[in-house]
Structure 1
Amino acid sequence: MVSTPAVPNLAFRRLRGPRSPGEFAAAVRRAARETGEQVACDARYIGRVEAGEIRCPNYAYERVFLHMFPGLTLADLGFSPRDTVRGRASGTRADVRTAPAPDPTPVRGATGDTSEESDVLRRAFMTNGTATMAGACLGLDIGGAHATAGTGPRQLGEAEINALEEAVRRIRLLDDRHGADGLYRRAAQPLRTAYALLDAGTATRGATADRLHAGAGELAISVGWLAHDSGRFDDARSHYAEALATARVAGDPALEAHAFCNTSFLARDGGRHREAVRAAQAGRRAASELASPRLLSLLALREAGGWAGLGDRTGCEQSLGQAHTFFERGPSDDDPEWMSFFGEPELEVLEAQCRAALGDWSAAARHAYRATVLLDPHFTRNLALYRAELASNLARAGFLDEAAAAGHRVLDLMDEVQSSRIQGMLAGMVRVLLPKGRTAEVGGFLDRHASSAATARRA
């Protein structure tokens, strides 16, 4: 059976209006929360819908879209009937495999998603938590035929590439909600499979090869970030270097900029501040080939963090000024999809970190507070991180009761979030509070933190 050529979905494009794909994707995610759904919608997904690559959404997206546009049908949204897309009329498995692509990108379910499968995964997560959900979401058969190195060249297709890109999205979504500690080991297998595909798929050329390299590199960065956030700095450094090498081989400036961005962040966290500056500057050179002011803003913030770590106030202020200038130019259709986390709250918290590194604790607390107020609470892991940043800065600025109150709000989230970074920040805050006067508020927080830490050690 020959696949039907993709026909652009002009109706859906009109509904997006003047919003960028990234902004529209954010609106979809907000609508999903209102309806109790979980969808990993991003700018790339919106682009695939508008290009006609997704002719009918899965059931979760269908419910979200109909909620967003009450009174309209799927046909009004430019979609085809589900039975004609999924090849169910014939009732054969071959028809399902060769039918034009249904939506493969929900958080729940794999590339042949059904509502029943979605419900199974939802119940698994609600019942067993992060570890079970990670296993369900990351156990992807990226290679299709279980590609392994040394099996000889093979032609790769859409199924493998889509599954690889989906693995990246799922890792990012789970990290947004739950932090890195429970995900890192489970994410290693999709990464090994992705690089086995690179080795085995030597017959692949053109756009498919580009997507394969980009997908493998982005997956390496995602797994590197899980290592980074869970305190495995050597592992993270290796994964980021792997992504950078992939970018250089493929001649992919977007992937190169991303790898340098994360390398700079890791170097700063590891106390290698001059390396953080150099990596951020290299990332900015790579990003200069792209039309994404927001990416340049983030890289300028990474550079500012390096200068702050070196105690170079002038360099830090200059980079912060550049970051704000780029940021104010607004989002672009060319913003990388991994940058969906980067908005005003992240801008504020990264400036807070710079101010803290320079010893300006009150200014750092003000920026961290703005980050917590501006952040969508849906991003649980980042909310815990921002609150930990606020608590730490308040403690060092001498606002002890306020710091303890902020610390309580971090602990409120730690049943959902597993992040060594956040735990380390709380531990550092405790070391600041212990020698101080033990008010009722401070004492209550210290006792609760000690109990929480003891429970974590026993788990």
Structure 2
Amino acid sequence: MASSRAVPNLRFKQLRGQRSPGEFAALVRRAAREIGEQVACDARYVGRVEAGEIRCPNYAYERVFRHMFPSLTLADLGFSAREAVRGRAGRGRTPRPPEPYRTTDSTDTNGTTGTTDSTFNTFNTYSDEESDVLRRAFMTGGTVTLASASLGFGPLPGAEALRSDLPRQRVGASEASAVEAAVRQIRLLDDRHGADGLYRRAAQPLRAAFALLDAGATTRGSTADRLAAGAGELAISVGWLAHDSGRLQDARSHYAEALATARLAGDAALEAHAFCNTSFLARDAGRHREAVRAAQAGQRAAGPLGSDRLLSLLSLREAGAWAGLGDRAGCERALSRAHTHFGRGPSDRDPEWMSFFGEPELQALEAQCWSALGDWARAARHAQRAAALQDPHFARNLALYRAQLAADLARSAAPAEAASVGEQVLDALEGDLESTRIRAMLADTARVLGPRRNTAGVAAFLDRHTAAARARV
């Protein structure tokens, strides 16, 4: 298990001083923002560092800690050398630095057409902080081990991993860590590459996670809670990949699975997340009254959790549903609540998966509301703010916001501007970003701009869009 060889990091604990783990985590997140990093540090992460489970931070955390303590080395902070933790250098191979660890949401944090294997390279490299725990998790035998190994996104075992007649071993903290790491990997890759190339690849880890949950049915305490929460969050992440790639029925099934897991575990945070995504899906499927009810149910679940940012997002989901029903008054009331909650700022109680939710996403979701109500000019103003404020690192969300902006500009009598923004979206889609949602939005913009071909810049965009669509056939 993860704790069997862990040596407590007393130096790091000394640096925390009299602050609580949650207070110290807030300082870490604030320091990250100061240098343009985004880390999902919470009290659990601080506790794992101090318990010695995280022997060396990943590169993003390392930059943050060096910013906080510029005169100290990693050794001074109580961490081990990176080579010793990763283990590859000791076997005569040069380790490849992983991408900076970031999380993003399923919402706005999971076919493989036209995607090369290199897209999935990151699946095979966990962040440094997880690697040691995962290696130990994968070294034991039986169904539990096979399921755990499939969470590494390397060569995925098939049905053999889930056979009920194989011996079941004890499920503990290592397996829970594996599930949590899989959730983070999916969210990271969705943000970098979009959903289309990831959905089928992520289905096996999801089955493995629920196999672990089943195998650990007799597990009790915090490990059982982590395993249930991790499996539920993984179901939501995979559901989002289905959702964003146009597989709405698959997404509905995954979200329902997450909701059932939340109810069985009594996990209000997971329940709120499941309702949040269910509302978004129902709106996209045209079931607007269901979207309203799901958003309101999510707010009831989230009420005791103390996260204003979560309540803000759920209020925005409700606002979008009212807009889909054409109820401007209901939409404006929900938007007002969303802004009130958002204005109270972030807190230590905000869920890790909400690291994507900042001012850009707030503006983008409000743009969707005004767009649904037919107020195109107002929608375009909010979409423009979203695109301008978004960190370029979040490639998928930036392309999404620009696609929304192009659609709103096309309908608000600004065809040249719409074509220019549409070209930027095409640039992203010609890279390694794959998103059926974004392509569908861009196709709709092209349709609206069709009659305006003679406007400057429009013909070039339309021709390029047509060529790109043909190349995908």
TM-score category, normalised to shorter length: 0.7 to 0.9
| Counterpart position of 1:169 | 184
The one-letter amino acid of 1:169's match is R
**Alignment equivalent of 2:417, drawn from 389, 402, 415:** 402
| Counterpart position of 1:211 | 226
**Change over 3 Å in CA distance of 1:273–1:438 after alignment to 2:** same
- 1:246 deviation in Å? 0.2
| Counterpart position of 1:74 | 74
Q: Which has the higher contact order (CA 8 A, sep 6+)?
A: 2
- Asked if 2 retains the 8 angstrom alpha-carbon contact of 1:62 and 1:74, the reply is no
- Listed one character per residue, the Cα deviations across residues 204-259 of structure 1 (whole Å, up to 9, x for unaligned) are 11111111100000000000000000000000000000000000000000000000
- Listed one character per residue, the Cα deviations across residues 259-311 of structure 1 (whole Å, up to 9, x for unaligned) are 00000000011111000000000000100120100000000000000000000
- Asked if 2 retains the 8 angstrom alpha-carbon contact of 1:58 and 1:113, the reply is no
Alignment partner of 1:444 is 2:460? yes
- 1:157 deviation in Å? 1.5
| Counterpart position of 1:435 | 451
- Asked if 2 retains the 8 angstrom alpha-carbon contact of 1:58 and 1:114, the reply is no
| Counterpart position of 2:119 | 130
Q: 2: CA distance between counterparts of 1:331 and 1:394?
A: 32
| Counterpart position of 2:237 | 222
Alignment partner of 1:379 is 2:378? no
Seq. identity, %:
55
- Asked if 2 retains the 8 angstrom alpha-carbon contact of 1:28 and 1:41, the reply is no
- Listed one character per residue, the Cα deviations across residues 416-440 of structure 1 (whole Å, up to 9, x for unaligned) are 3100000000001011000225223
Q: 2: CA distance between counterparts of 1:250 and 1:340?
A: 24
Q: 2: CA distance between counterparts of 1:114 and 1:298?
A: 48
- Asked if 1 retains the 8 angstrom alpha-carbon contact of 2:6 and 2:52, the reply is no
The one-letter amino acid of 2:462's match is L
The one-letter amino acid of 1:130's match is T
400-409 or 143-152, which deviates more: 143-152
Q: Mind listing any 5+ residue stretches in structure 1 that lack a counterpart?
A: 34-38, 89-101
| Counterpart position of 1:47 | 46
- Listed one character per residue, the Cα deviations across residues 155-196 of structure 1 (whole Å, up to 9, x for unaligned) are 212211111100000000111111000000110111000111
Question: What SS does the aligned partner of 1:118 have?
Answer: coil
The one-letter amino acid of 1:116's match is T
Alignment partner of 1:189 is 2:190? no
| Counterpart position of 1:94 | none
- 1:29 deviation in Å? 8.0
**Change over 3 Å in CA distance of 1:65–1:309 after alignment to 2:** closer
Alignment partner of 1:243 is 2:242? no
- Listed one character per residue, the Cα deviations across residues 21-69 of structure 1 (whole Å, up to 9, x for unaligned) are 3673475488587xxxxx9754467434554444531563575246524
Q: 1: CA distance between counterparts of 2:372 and 2:18?
A: 45
**Change over 3 Å in CA distance of 1:49–1:153 after alignment to 2:** closer
- 1:400 deviation in Å? 0.4
- 1:72 deviation in Å? 1.7
| Counterpart position of 1:116 | 94
**Change over 3 Å in CA distance of 1:196–1:294 after alignment to 2:** same
Number of residue pairs the alignment of both structures matches? 426
**Change over 3 Å in CA distance of 1:20–1:361 after alignment to 2:** farther
416-425 or 437-446, which deviates more: 437-446
209-218 or 199-208, which deviates more: 199-208
- Asked if 1 retains the 8 angstrom alpha-carbon contact of 2:307 and 2:347, the reply is yes
**Change over 3 Å in CA distance of 1:30–1:157 after alignment to 2:** farther
**Change over 3 Å in CA distance of 1:293–1:430 after alignment to 2:** same
**Change over 3 Å in CA distance of 1:114–1:137 after alignment to 2:** farther
Q: 1: CA distance between counterparts of 2:190 and 2:364?
A: 18
The one-letter amino acid of 1:129's match is S
- Asked if 1 retains the 8 angstrom alpha-carbon contact of 2:405 and 2:421, the reply is yes
| Counterpart position of 1:93 | none
Q: 2: CA distance between counterparts of 1:243 and 1:276?
A: 17
| Counterpart position of 2:353 | 338
Q: 2: CA distance between counterparts of 1:391 and 1:443?
A: 15
Alignment partner of 1:56 is 2:55? yes
**Change over 3 Å in CA distance of 1:62–1:326 after alignment to 2:** closer
The one-letter amino acid of 1:453's match is A
Q: 1: CA distance between counterparts of 2:350 and 2:52?
A: 20
| Counterpart position of 1:420 | 436
- Asked if 1 retains the 8 angstrom alpha-carbon contact of 2:31 and 2:64, the reply is no
Q: 2: CA distance between counterparts of 1:55 and 1:428?
A: 47
| Counterpart position of 2:277 | 262
| TM-score, reference length from structure 2 | 0.81
**Change over 3 Å in CA distance of 1:239–1:62 after alignment to 2:** closer
Q: 1: CA distance between counterparts of 2:359 and 2:378?
A: 17
- 1:113 deviation in Å? 12
| Counterpart position of 1:13 | 16
- Asked if 2 retains the 8 angstrom alpha-carbon contact of 1:25 and 1:46, the reply is no
Q: 2: CA distance between counterparts of 1:20 and 1:416?
A: 37
Q: 2: CA distance between counterparts of 1:388 and 1:255?
A: 30
Alignment partner of 1:199 is 2:177? no
Q: 1: CA distance between counterparts of 2:36 and 2:284?
A: 34
Q: 1: CA distance between counterparts of 2:310 and 2:91?
A: 33
Q: Mind listing any 5+ residue stretches in structure 2 that lack a counterpart?
A: 101-114, 139-143, 148-160
**Change over 3 Å in CA distance of 1:291–1:50 after alignment to 2:** farther
| TM-score, reference length from structure 1 | 0.83
- Listed one character per residue, the Cα deviations across residues 79-99 of structure 1 (whole Å, up to 9, x for unaligned) are 24449xx9x7xxxxxxxxxxx
| Counterpart position of 1:328 | 343
Q: 1: CA distance between counterparts of 2:36 and 2:93?
A: 15
Alignment partner of 1:454 is 2:454? no
- Asked if 1 retains the 8 angstrom alpha-carbon contact of 2:183 and 2:233, the reply is yes
Q: 2: CA distance between counterparts of 1:23 and 1:180?
A: 33
**Alignment equivalent of 1:316, drawn from 318, 328, 331:** 331
